[in-house]
Amino acid sequence: MSVTTPPATPALKLAPDEVAELNRRFERADPTAILRWAVDQVPTGRLVVSSTFGVGGMVIIHLLSEAGIRLPVVFIDTLYHFPETIEHALRVRDRYDLDLRIYRGAPTRKEFEAVHGRRLWERDEELFHQLTKVAPMREALEGVDGWITGRRRDQSETRAALPPVEIAGERVKVNPVASWSLDVIWGFIRASKIPYNPLHDLGYASIGDVPLTTPIRPGEQERDGRWRGSSRVECGLHGI
């Protein structure tokens, strides 16, 4: 007896005018409404949250939990995160009962350095990010039609025009807190008692890899502590 396989659910396809209309609609929308739209529109099993558990990502995770929405959370372990970041990620996983999916460019830092040598970021920063972040993220996004981020416009000049919804290649990228300021983010975190990385209390505003992250100075933007002394402003993940 033959078995008929049901047709696969088609990926979400949005025309440019549809994206523009969504962004007009979502410009002042509550982030939870944007999250619900994404869950309703992206086929089941093809939507993920990507997070390094920074403050914007923590707001997203909390809102999803409050709304009773359970999605896979993708975390790229670059092998060079601060210990505090890893500990924070595991605490958040346990508190929110996350479906946490961790991707790495190698099983361990020792194995990575056996192939690429130590301090690769000093010799080839682009290759370092491609191997530790971009390649694992490409793996994480296989079979994914949409991903949710905690990025915001006020993080840096390169993100100043960030829309709530954008098309990234064949995928929809959703930025529910794009219009929120850092002050609003922190106000929400404190009011809702959301856990955050303890490094924020030590002056680290945006937290990446240990060798490429420093605290910010008075008057600097949130991401100015990343890649200090370099012209680099993004790691490459959001160019996928």
Instruction: Kindly list the catalytic residues.
Output: 235
Extract the tokens encoding 91. 């605490």
Pairing between β-strand 165-168 and β-strand 146-148 as defined by DSSP bridges: unpaired
- Provide the greatest CA pair distance for the chain: 72
Are 165 and 173 in contact, with CB atoms under 8 Å apart? yes
Angle, CA of 154, 58 and 70, to the nearest 5°: 125
Decide: helix, strand or coil at residue 51. coil
Between CA 133 and CA 57 the distance in angstroms is 17
Strands in 115-156 per DSSP E: 146-148
CA 176 remoteness from chain centre:
12
Cβ contacts of 100 within 8 Å, gap of 6 or more: 73, 75, 89, 93
Are 132 and 44 in contact, with CB atoms under 8 Å apart? no
